[in-house]
Chain A
Amino acid sequence: MRVGPPLLGLLAVSLAARPLLPAWRSSREVLAPPGTAHPLGTNAIGQDIALGLLHATPNTLLVGLAAAALATGVALAAAGLAATAPPTLRAAILRLVDALQVLPAMLVLLFVAAFAQPGLAGLIPLLGLTSWHEDVRLALALIRREAGRENVHFARSMGASWSHCLRRHVLPAIRPALAALYVQNIRQVTLRGAGLAFLGLTDPRLPSWGSMMQEAMDHLYTPAWSWLLLPPALALTLFLLVLLALAEAAPDKDAAA
């Protein structure tokens, strides 16, 4: 996947830099405006906003990339199973997907998060396992299209197993579409994760762009909104724009290759 390297690189850099960062501690400099000591100001408990952004970046990226990978992987596995399974099992898988699609994922997320208040390790499976069903039908259509091609028929007639065919013939053919699905999922889970943090439903000590925006809500009627809300909102917007650009560029490059 061509979208992977730049995102993984960004994640690796932010993760590698994190141990070098000072702890994001509270201080008596409460709601200080941007200045020389604090380039982006401080929040309501005196934490430096710029430092908070640096702490929040790997968390936000990691949640987005890992939860989207989980969602895409589970969707692909379910679609692969449905494509190769007997009709009864295929019908059961598709009815399960239908049932999950009827249930709004955000409601499930809110319900679970309100009880569990997940941290980093909890957010990734929670977001991933509430997003996978949306991709199953598309992935199934792609797999069935590729599985119906002559190269797969030849391979099957020569004795190749379904798993071999999926691995060697189908997956390489649908990789560009999977990349697009993955990027779409990153965007979706990042927004959902930010939404959960914005509602205060994640671990209160897990810095993320969403939780930083949530902290700004108490100060919308004071001048502090500008340095509390804009930096994390701009970071999130920039990240989503980069994802969009990557999503548009990736399939063309793959196709050309």
Chain B
Amino acid sequence: MSGLFRIALLTLAALLSAPVLAQEDRPLIITDSRADRGMLAPYLHTRNGIAYLYMTYVFDSLVSQDRQGRPAPGLAASWTISADGLTADLQMDGRASWHDGRPVTARDAAFTFAYMARHPYPFVTLKNVAGAEALSDRHLRITLKSRDAGLVSGLLTALPILPEHVYAAEDAPERFTAPEAATGSGPYRLASYDKAQGRYMLEAVPDHYAGAPKFTRLMIVTMAPDAAIRALRGGEVDVISDLPVERAAGVEAQGLHVVRARSGHVTKIAFNHQGMFGARTLRQALAQALDRLAILDITAPNGAGALAETGYFQQGSPWREDRTDPVWPHDPAIAATLFEAQGFARNGTGRWQRDGAPVTLRLISDESQARVAQVVADQLEGFGFGVELRLMERTALQAVPPGGDYDLLIASVSTTGDPGDIASRVTGDAWSADRYAGDGRIAAALEAARQAATPEKRLAHLRAFQRLYAEELPSLMLIDPVMASAHGGRIALEFMPDGARIGIPTAIDKSAFLPE
């Protein structure tokens, strides 16, 4: 009888524990509304921030980030910068190993610098690096051409370290698609990748030098938002990485967890500085002709966005000076006065003319900003300008050269991450950059910030840049969209204040999967 009782007890215990075991054994399932992000290797993932983020689950960099986004030891356990700022000495973490079991050494890191100089990787720039040398297996020395105040939080955080024994023989890394290409040193190894389904299975590296990851497996699946919400409610998935913010309230009402944050990826109006808007007064006039608050209310209602700060850095950025930037409030009368002072005049129908000819502004954008573009066009027409709006394919828009056939361009730009990249976003020639030269003061402030000897001096120069940007208006910042993620409670998620790694607005940085 006691034997039977014992068997019954054991059976009951097994039955009760089964769901717990199944839950722990189940991978953490993350949904992504976009399809395939490419193979999770530096030269093979698609060129967007989320694909880069997934790649960092597999590949570690020399410097990592903690949950607040601050620099933290990565493959380099410690580092020192010389007094002149031109030499960085890094001590590698001796516990780090590649997914095939070989140790990660300073030689791998030095190889990566040399390899990426020969095969540029779009998410980092090495033009200021004079060289990287392995002084021993543990000691890496990086030499710079000029001081870079953002070396640690910028380059060393962004650069994924490659295994020399895998990549040394590869002359065309973008065509190296064998599974070995995803041999990294990150907390997860790529177990399977289904390109057709856009599905990734990642397995934890239990002896990872930063500690065993919290989940033994991660699964990333492509799922449309509506299906993802139903699946999260049913417990079939654990995280919706990109919840449409207008659905957030409904998801919360179902008892699920939602985290939100301003993305810092701002929708802006970029000016053609080689056209009429090369004049600062006209940029300021246009800013006051537009009703930015109305644009926000119409295109990002119910908290889907916030009014963007005009001084480049957005609320929540650690680089932003806590001051009130000029908001350029909607004031058609002042705007009209400024236009008139620049030789514009209104005809009998209220239409603006210059040199006797009606003024038609050429506004270009792509489909993703169609609503903002239409509202801006409406407001400009209401103010008296003719507007020629063209929504172009992204590739066609990217091909529009500086000084091309447009007056205004609506685009989204990242203002997050280390400020070392700001110069390229303001003075660079890329389609989404401001393409601004001005009188050189902004470029000088950014260069001074880059070469600043101390963090305090860097911050002072960045604050000067913020004030200049809000006055000069290389671009007019419109909306700071809010992003949201949802989860069922298996994991605690938060957005990093200034974006993850290279400034990616996400709540699923790999630090969320690692022990504190």
**Contact: A28 with B298, CB < 8 Å?**
yes
Selected interface stretch from B117-125, B273-281, B367-375 = B367-375
B171: chain A residues within 8 A (beta carbon):
none
**Is B114 interfacial (CB 8 A cutoff)?**
no
Q: Give complex CA distance A235, B2 in Å.
A: 81
**Contact A45-B374, Cβ < 8 Å, known A23-B381, A30-B298, A200-B367:** yes
Q: Which of B374, B391, B393 contacts A26 (CB 8 A)?
A: B374
A205: chain B residues within 8 A (beta carbon):
374, 377, 387, 389
**Contact: B301 with A30, CB < 8 Å?**
yes
B516–chain A nearest beta-carbon distance, Å: 39
A41–chain B nearest beta-carbon distance, Å: 15
**Contact: A28 with B294, CB < 8 Å?**
yes
**Is B382 interfacial (CB 8 A cutoff)?**
yes
The 6 closest A-B pairs by CB, nearest first: A26-B375, A26-B378, A28-B297, A25-B378, A204-B391, A30-B301
Q: Give complex CA distance A204, B369 in Å.
A: 12
**Is A125 interfacial (CB 8 A cutoff)?**
no
Looking at chain A, what size class is its interface with the partner chain? 10 to 19
B371: chain A residues within 8 A (beta carbon):
44-45
Q: Give complex CA distance A117, B370 in Å.
A: 14
**Contact: B298 with A26, CB < 8 Å?**
yes
A25: chain B residues within 8 A (beta carbon):
378, 382
Minimum CB distance partner of B297 in chain A: A28
**Contact: A204 with B226, CB < 8 Å?**
no
Minimum CB distance partner of A46 in chain B: B298
**Is A154 interfacial (CB 8 A cutoff)?**
no
Number of A-B contacts (CB under 8 A): 43
Q: Which residue among B374, B377, B393 has the maximum number of chain A CB atoms within 10 Å of its CB? A: B374
**Is B299 interfacial (CB 8 A cutoff)?**
yes
Q: Is the interface of B mostly helix, strand, loop or mixed?
A: helix
Looking at chain B, what size class is its interface with the partner chain? 20 to 34
Residues of chain A in range 5-57 having any CB-CB distance to chain B below 8 Å: 23, 25-28, 30, 44-46
- Interface residues, chain B, with chain A CB atoms under 8 Å away: 226, 294, 297-299, 301, 367, 370-371, 373-375, 377-378, 381-382, 387, 389-393
B294: chain A residues within 8 A (beta carbon):
28
Q: Give complex CA distance A44, B372 in Å.
A: 11
B373: chain A residues within 8 A (beta carbon):
204
**Is A108 interfacial (CB 8 A cutoff)?**
no
**Contact: B390 with A117, CB < 8 Å?**
yes
Q: Is the interface of A mostly helix, strand, loop or mixed?
A: loop
Q: Give complex CA distance A23, B387 in Å.
A: 14
> Can you give 19 contacting A-B residue pairs, CB < 8 Å?
A23-B382, A25-B378, A26-B374, A26-B378, A28-B294, A28-B301, A30-B298, A45-B298, A45-B374, A45-B375, A45-B378, A46-B298, A117-B390, A117-B391, A200-B367, A204-B370, A204-B390, A204-B391, A205-B389
Q: Which of B299, B367, B382, B392 contacts A45 (CB 8 A)?
A: B299
Q: Give complex CA distance A46, B294 in Å.
A: 11
A161–chain B nearest beta-carbon distance, Å: 48
**Contact: A221 with B299, CB < 8 Å?**
no
**Is A112 interfacial (CB 8 A cutoff)?**
no
**Is A160 interfacial (CB 8 A cutoff)?**
no
**Is A92 interfacial (CB 8 A cutoff)?**
no
B370: chain A residues within 8 A (beta carbon):
200, 204
B377: chain A residues within 8 A (beta carbon):
205
Q: Give complex CA distance A23, B374 in Å.
A: 13
A98–chain B nearest beta-carbon distance, Å: 33
B297: chain A residues within 8 A (beta carbon):
28, 30
Contacts A28-B298, A204-B373, A205-B374 known; 17 new A-B pairs at CB < 8 A: A25-B382, A26-B374, A26-B375, A28-B294, A28-B301, A44-B371, A45-B374, A200-B370, A200-B391, A203-B389, A204-B370, A204-B374, A204-B389, A204-B390, A204-B391, A205-B389, A221-B226
**Is A114 interfacial (CB 8 A cutoff)?**
yes
Q: Give complex CA distance A25, B373 in Å.
A: 13
Minimum CB distance partner of B372 in chain A: A45
Q: Give complex CA distance A115, B378 in Å.
A: 24
Minimum CB distance partner of B393 in chain A: A114
Q: Give complex CA distance A45, B378 in Å.
A: 11
Q: Give complex CA distance A200, B373 in Å.
A: 14
Q: Give complex CA distance A104, B299 in Å.
A: 38
Q: Give complex CA distance A236, B320 in Å.
A: 53
A203: chain B residues within 8 A (beta carbon):
389
Q: Give complex CA distance A26, B296 in Å.
A: 12
Q: Give complex CA distance A30, B305 in Å.
A: 15
B390: chain A residues within 8 A (beta carbon):
117, 204
A46: chain B residues within 8 A (beta carbon):
298
A219–chain B nearest beta-carbon distance, Å: 10
**Contact: A27 with B298, CB < 8 Å?**
yes
Minimum CB distance partner of B293 in chain A: A28
